[in-house]
Amino acid sequence: MSYQFNQLLSGLLLLCVCFNTANATPEFKIEIKDNLFFPAELTVPANTKVKLRIFNLDSTPEEFESYELNREKVIVGNSQTVIFIGPLLPGSYPYFGEFNPKTAQGIIYAK
């Protein structure tokens, strides 16, 4: 069988793997209350895409921001949102609420 066919086959296989992982994206929940993140420390699996579902229970907007995760997103008051992060190398990734940076701080550990 030709080399190209093998390549095609392995490509397709890889694609299947990708779709499978897409279906099984692990989801984690973070809440914002009184300008604080709960839980402030969260451990997620390393080297895989992760879905964060963030609930803002305050009436004021907040911006989830992280230089390390390369993410920023405004979450209006009393609403929820979704942010995809990763794949992350093992390590710690601090984030903060840009609209209340003194209080709203959190950290994500990838293990």
Partner 1 sequence: MLLSSVVIILREVLEGALLLSVFLALSWHQGYQFRWSLTALFAGVIGAVFYAAEFESISTWFDYVGQEVVNASLHFLIVLFLTMFSLFYTAYKGRYDRAKIIFMTIAVALTIVREGSEILLYLSGFVGRDEALSSVILGGIIGAGIGLSLGGLLYYSLIDFIPSYTRKVAYGLLALFSAAMLSDTVTMLTQADWLPAQHYLWDSSSWLAEESLLGHLLYALLGYEATPTALQLAAYITGLFLVLVLPRLFSKGVAFNGHK
Residues contributing to the site for partner 1 (CB under 8 A): 18, 22, 25, 47, 49, 51, 53, 60-63, 67-68, 70-71, 73-77, 79-87, 89, 98-102
CB of 24 to partner 1, least distance (A): 13
State the SS3 of 72-94: EEEECCCEEEEEEECCCCCEEEE
CB of 76 to partner 1, least distance (A): 5
Of 71 and 107, the one with the shorter C-beta distance to partner 1 is 71
* Neighbouring residues of 90: CB distance < 8 A, sequence distance ≥ 6: 46, 47, 110, 111
Tell me how long the chain is.
111
CB of 63 to partner 1, least distance (A): 8
CB of 91 to partner 1, least distance (A): 10
> Are the C-beta atoms of 106 and 28 separated by less than 8 Å?
no
Of 35 and 109, the one with the shorter C-beta distance to partner 1 is 35
Residue 74 identity (one-letter amino acid)? V
